[in-house]
Structure 1
Amino acid sequence: MDLLTPSIGNLFWTAVVFILLLALLAKFAWSPILSAVRERENNIQDALNQAKLARQEMSQLKEDNERILREAKLERDAILKEAREMKDKIVNDAKDVAKVEGEKMIANAKASIQTEKNAAMADIKNQIGTLSVSIAENILKQKLDNNEAQTALVENLINKSNLN
């Protein structure tokens, strides 16, 4: 047990060596250690500040990207709306042109039909006139075969013409 109980001399020299060690450490080691610790603390603080700035920049970039995306969507919608309006205008213009052309074609067809109808009516009248003259000629030939009937017809026509 003697080894476990320290003597006063042993305690004194241990304390002296410890104090000398503390003095040497304070003079030569504490300053570099403390400066290294301070430098490390500053580096860590700078890294934290840079990380915070990077987070803020990332947040700003994300907001800018979202804003650009919204603007692009609005521009796309505007372009699509304009394209739809242009398509509707072109379709309506085409319908109007087709309607006008159709009406012109119908009017031309009606005029052509009327012209052909008038020509057909004139042809029919001519044929009827020719046929009527031919029929009248045949009837007169049959009735006027003898001279007495011819003389009576001429006298009748003369009497009628004098009345007018």
Structure 2
Amino acid sequence: MKALQKSIIGLGSIGLIFLAACGNETPATNSSNTNSAVATANPATSSSTTTATTTTTTQPKSEASAKTDHPQTSQGGQVIESGLYHLELVPVSEANGTHIDFFLQKGDTHEAISDAKVSAQIQLPSGEQKTLDLDYDAAGKHYAGFLPEKATGEYKVVMLTDIKGEKTNGRFAFNR
């Protein structure tokens, strides 16, 4: 009888541990379950850096806004919500390369940030690295650049932003 009681107590303890482990899991993704953000601080400097990663593919506007807390904010590209910032990459393939639109916005109202320094570090399908500085397009309220590469395959992009000394970076990928 005591052996049976010990077995029941042991199994019950294991079950509780399993439930506690599952119940305390902290999700690392946002509400659309496609993005993650990691914040790090560099003790040697007073500025902080936030890096966010996404591996999503381009979603239609209606699908993207239906899955986020910020309706009607997506331009149809890959979105990262990183702290106070909304980062969105919209690559458009053209005959002689890829036009890159990058939306950098702040707050729940997603106000465009026009005075940041924005560059893209791009890994081509061949593995070669390119850096592309993006300029602000006031009419479109976004940053834009052109990548004159025609290779087919996956392009990995790290968007580097400096907003008055605050760095917020986003990792994206797209296929051409």
Name the TM tier (shorter chain). under 0.3
Higher-helix-fraction structure: 1
Q: Which has the higher contact order (CA 8 A, sep 6+)?
A: 2
Which has the greater radius of gyration?
Answer: 1
TM-score when normalising by structure 2: 0.25
TM-score when normalising by structure 1: 0.27
Higher-strand-fraction structure: 2
